[in-house]
Amino acid sequence: MQIILEGVDASGKSTLAKALVSELSGYTYYPSEGPEKYEGEIIERLKRYETEHNPLAVYDRHPIISHPIYSRTNLWMSDIPQSVRREFYERPDRLLVYCLPTDRGFELHEEVEGVDTAEHLAMVKKEYPRLLADYNEWAFRRAHMIYRCGQDFDATVKRITRAVR
């Protein structure tokens, strides 16, 4: 079973992912790789995720989910074919967890070296309310669970762990 943690920047995804991997034997943590590096790279990344990654995975973001949301603010980004997105959502071996940030939002963001470019961070800061609204809309339609950053962390880890065992 794959656990995919999604949400806008500074919503507790990385912290939750690391806690889950420490609780779940055999699971591998895959951190976010950030925005698309060049046109077409996102498709290459998706193929790599399907062929090279451990099926027992905890993802801090998955491009099928985050890429369409972030690409609304950056029009040069590649499209992911609808058939690829549909196949992703139809698979029963994925638990989609929406991580909702605190009211302090982006000010709690911790920069990730090699992923967060100055340009990307400026865009996220400027577009944070829109990104949050887009993620909320996604979660309403697709998420299996919601974790509010700062809520009972240990209980959340246990709830997710029970769901995948």
pLDDT higher than 70, residue 123:
yes
For residue 57, what pLDDT is reported? 97
pLDDT higher than 90, residue 120:
no
42 within 8 A of 49, measured Cβ to Cβ: no
Which of helix, strand or coil describes residue 110?
Answer: coil
For residue 75, what pLDDT is reported? 63
Residues 82-109: tens digit of each pLDDT: 999 999 999 999 999 999 998 877 776 7
For residue 164, what pLDDT is reported? 95
Numbers of helices and strands, H then E, in the chain? 6, 5
Q: Which amino acid is at 92?
A: P
What is the C-alpha separation between 137 and 156, in angstroms, rounded? 22
What is the mean pLDDT of the segment spanning 52-77?
Answer: 90
pLDDT higher than 80, residue 149:
yes
DSSP secondary structure letter of residue 95: E
24 within 8 A of 56, measured Cβ to Cβ: yes
For residue 113, what pLDDT is reported? 78
For residue 21, what pLDDT is reported? 97
Residues 1-57: tens digit of each pLDDT: 999 999 998 899 999 999 999 999 999 999 999 888 898 999 999 999 999 999 999
